[in-house]
Amino acid sequence: MQPPLRLLHLLPLAVLLALALPASAREEVSEYNHAVRTTPLLRTSTDVAGTPLAYPIGAPAEVSGLLVELPPGAETGWHRHTVPCFAYILAGTIAVEQKDGPTRTFRTGDAFAELVGLEHNGRTVGTEPVRLVFFATGLQDHPFTVKEAAVAK
């Protein structure tokens, strides 16, 4: 007999389903079984900078999911995403600085579409580690994140 799954193991699946299903499908799931409760986390057609999302073509599709953990004082390093990516903050606060743009702050419970094609750097804010679930909708054998050279302030 397998041990029961912890809620944390189910969270990435719940986030993916909430992101992937249109509102009508989420309602149908709820109508199918009243014990199922859905909470919309994100519904958007743009990234946080307002750039329309466009799914890549040219290779078989691939979805990647990661649990990302940043200790206090840590930074992601300057990078850009080549495809639409989505994040849900499980714990902590992260400030995402955009090169030649604003800094946006995301806290526990926030869901957002990451910047696509724009250099940015995430850093923890405060003394609590940041834990987030990250999904990239990309292509097989193609990176969804590209490291960039350090940006001088």
Domain with residue 74: its CATH number is 2.60.120.10
Does the structure show a pLDDT above 70 at 27?
A: no
- The whole-model pTM stands at 0.76
- Amino acid at position 97, single letter: E
Q: Are strands 120-124 and 130-139 parallel, antiparallel or unpaired?
A: unpaired
How far apart CA 121 and CA 94 sit, in angstroms, is 10
Domain-located, residue 10: no
pLDDT at 103 over 80: yes
**What are the Cα distances from residue 33, in Å, to 11, 29, 46, 153?**
19, 7, 32, 53
Average pLDDT along the chain: 84
Average pLDDT over residues 8-19: 47
Q: Is the pLDDT of residue 63 over 90?
A: yes
Domain ranges, residue 117: 42-147
Mean pLDDT of 104-130: 97
What percent of the chain lies above the pLDDT cut of 70? 76
* Number of domains forming the structure of the chain: 1
pLDDT band, residue 7 (cuts 50/70/90)? very low
- Would residue 37 count as lying in a domain? no
Whether 32 is covered by a domain: the verdict is no
pLDDT at 32 over 80: no
